[in-house]
Amino acid sequence: MMKYGETEKKNVKTLADMYKEFLDAGKTERECAANISRIAREHGYRDLEEILENGESLKAGDKVYAVNMNKAVLMMEIGTDPMEKGMLLVGSHIDSPRLDIKQKPLYENSGMAYLDTHYYGGIKKYQWVASPLALHGTVVKKDGTVIEVSIGENPEDPVIGVTDILVHLSAKQMEKPGSTVIEGEALDLLVGSTPAESEDEEKKENAVKEYINQLLKEKYNIEEEDFVSAELEAVPAGKARDFGLDASMIMAYGQDDRICAFCSLMGFLYSEQTSKTKVCLFVDKEEIGSVGATGMHSHFLENTAAEVMNALGQYSELKLRRALKNSKMLSADVSAGYDPLYSEAFEKNNSSFLGKGPTINKYTGSRGKSGSNDASAEYLGKLRGIFDSRNVVYQTAELGKIDVGGGGTIAYIPAAYGMDVVDLGIPVLNMHAQYEICSKVDVYEASRCYKAFYDLM
């Protein structure tokens, strides 16, 4: 634990409370993007879409934000330097592992109604059974009507969930390897057991499913075929909570990577005005390879930078390329917190410990650093100087022992422009489990760290 004075201790607590609210307000990428957009507007950021529609120009000091398909957000504060000199970026991801509802999900079996799911991201499937889940998402009707769904978060709401076989009859199941103890197709959500009252003989057969259909129609105006154009996600129900008898930690769903989203947002909003253009980026689809229109591989950053440069009267293809190449970035994603109960997975000297500040991962990847962005020594040297000048506490680590696994972040993608990028994020325990654990001290130190980057880089 860091040695803090009374003021700092108070700051740690205040920030932790704000962070818990941020988590509760955004349990899906869509909700999180909407919440970030709301915070942006409250801080005087204007929607770039609106500026472009009005044909307005931009100037140094202007604050704008752009939203990509309701799932990714970019906030930018324009500096006095020409954009081609480069930007300062911190980028995180706001998607998290969960159970997505299939496009034809609803069925009945043995008097019970189920929603079939397809899991999203890397999960230990056995962690997602016998627990309360909430249903969040968006349903779009044929006429374009958008219906927002959130069931299971209020204490008076019902919850849904996946069942598991009782231990008394688990002899066979318990012999299976962990990866198949629960199969992907067994992750179906039990959602009802009440039969609909009907004279129609055909409907009697699927009366429980029929009742769920009636409920969805009455409460949400959703028809069964509307699932085809829906994005519904089952996520752990309930709010973020203090963790530990000393309440020094936070346990919550989706901290990978909304913890870095929150801390980078804090660092960004409270950074000092400098001549540099600052960007805070929140992307989707990291957990499935940063693919698609809303993942880091999309051209969202590049296109938004081009639009801003154009509105500044600074656009040319070459200047845009220079802007990207001359940028510096922190890829803000979580690190594997050292867990002494599983010490065999870590090499202790190069591990990340809860409560010891954010972690620099020079490289990630697996085996021989495969798939990793290997940040340059020159860039790391500069960052060390900046963090030390602000007395920011940080650590360095690898993602566990060599050859036991591995992983990646968005870092290697923007690095392709030739910009300096390094991973700097917060250690968590239980990563990708329903409830992940972080240290409040690290939320505070990481926010200071991102702020120092924006202020001094």
Nearest residue to Mn ion by CB is 257
* Residue whose CB is less far from Mn ion, 139 or 240: 240
* Residue whose CB is less far from Mn ion, 333 or 455: 333
Q: Are strands 230-236 and 46-47 parallel, antiparallel or unpaired?
A: unpaired
- Per DSSP (E only), the strands in 221-337 are 230-236, 241-243, 249-252, 277-283, 328-331, 335-336
CA-to-CA distance for 456 and 26, rounded, in angstroms?
Answer: 30
SS3 for 396? Answer: strand
CA-to-CA distance for 328 and 379, rounded, in angstroms?
Answer: 9
Residue with tokens 């028809």: 223
* Residue whose CB is less far from Mn ion, 115 or 123: 123
Which residues touch 393 (CB under 8 Å, ≥6 apart)? 2, 356, 357, 445
- Cα 364 to Cα 95, 334, 399, 424, distances in angstroms: 19, 11, 6, 11
CA-to-CA distance for 298 and 413, rounded, in angstroms?
Answer: 10
Binding part of the chain for Mn ion, among 155-163, 242-250, 333-341, 348-356 by CB under 5 A, reads: 333-341
* Residue whose CB is less far from Mn ion, 140 or 288: 288
Q: Count CB atoms within 10 A of the CB of residue 172.
A: 8
Closest approach, Cβ 264 to Mn ion, in A, equals 13
DSSP structural state of residue 197: P
Closest approach, Cβ 334 to Mn ion, in A, equals 5
DSSP structural state of residue 168: G
The single residue among 95, 257, 420, 436 that binds Mn ion, judged by CB under 5 A, is 257
Residue with tokens 């709301």: 38
* Residue whose CB is less far from Mn ion, 36 or 320: 36
Closest approach, Cβ 428 to Mn ion, in A, equals 9
Closest approach, Cβ 97 to Mn ion, in A, equals 7
Binding part of the chain for Mn ion, among 57-65, 67-75, 253-261, 364-372 by CB under 5 A, reads: 253-261
Closest approach, Cβ 439 to Mn ion, in A, equals 17
The single residue among 29, 188, 226, 333 that binds Mn ion, judged by CB under 5 A, is 333
Indicate whether 256 belongs to the interface with Mn ion (CB under 5 A): yes
**Residues paired with residue 67 on neighbouring β-strands, in sequence order:** 73
Closest approach, Cβ 333 to Mn ion, in A, equals 4
Closest approach, Cβ 395 to Mn ion, in A, equals 18
Tell me how many residues contact Mn ion (CB under 5 A): 3
Binding part of the chain for Mn ion, among 109-117, 132-140, 249-257, 303-311 by CB under 5 A, reads: 249-257
* Residue whose CB is less far from Mn ion, 105 or 427: 427
**Interaction with Mn ion in 435-454: which residues (CB under 5 A)?**
none
Binding part of the chain for Mn ion, among 83-91, 105-113, 179-187, 325-333 by CB under 5 A, reads: 325-333
Closest approach, Cβ 153 to Mn ion, in A, equals 23
* Residue whose CB is less far from Mn ion, 84 or 333: 333
* Residue whose CB is less far from Mn ion, 213 or 335: 335
Binding part of the chain for Mn ion, among 176-184, 267-275, 317-325, 331-339 by CB under 5 A, reads: 331-339
* Residue whose CB is less far from Mn ion, 256 or 445: 256
Nearest by Cα to 259 from 238, 285, 231, 240: 240
Closest approach, Cβ 316 to Mn ion, in A, equals 35
Q: Count CB atoms within 10 A of the CB of residue 295.
A: 23
Q: Count CB atoms within 10 A of the CB of residue 374.
A: 14
* Residue whose CB is less far from Mn ion, 213 or 372: 372
* Residue whose CB is less far from Mn ion, 255 or 277: 255
Closest approach, Cβ 426 to Mn ion, in A, equals 10
The amino acid present at 365, given as its one-letter code, is G
Which residues touch 408 (CB under 8 Å, ≥6 apart)? 364, 365, 371, 372
Closest approach, Cβ 438 to Mn ion, in A, equals 13
Indicate whether 284 belongs to the interface with Mn ion (CB under 5 A): no
Indicate whether 62 belongs to the interface with Mn ion (CB under 5 A): no
Which residues touch 159 (CB under 8 Å, ≥6 apart)? 132, 133, 134, 152, 237
Which is it for the CA torsion 294, 282, 333, 248, positive or negative?
Answer: negative
Nearest 10 degrees: CA dihedral of 204, 207, 210, 214?
Answer: 100
Residue with tokens 């890397």: 122
Binding part of the chain for Mn ion, among 41-49, 270-278, 294-302, 329-337 by CB under 5 A, reads: 329-337
Could you list the residues that contact Mn ion (CB under 5 A)? 256-257, 333
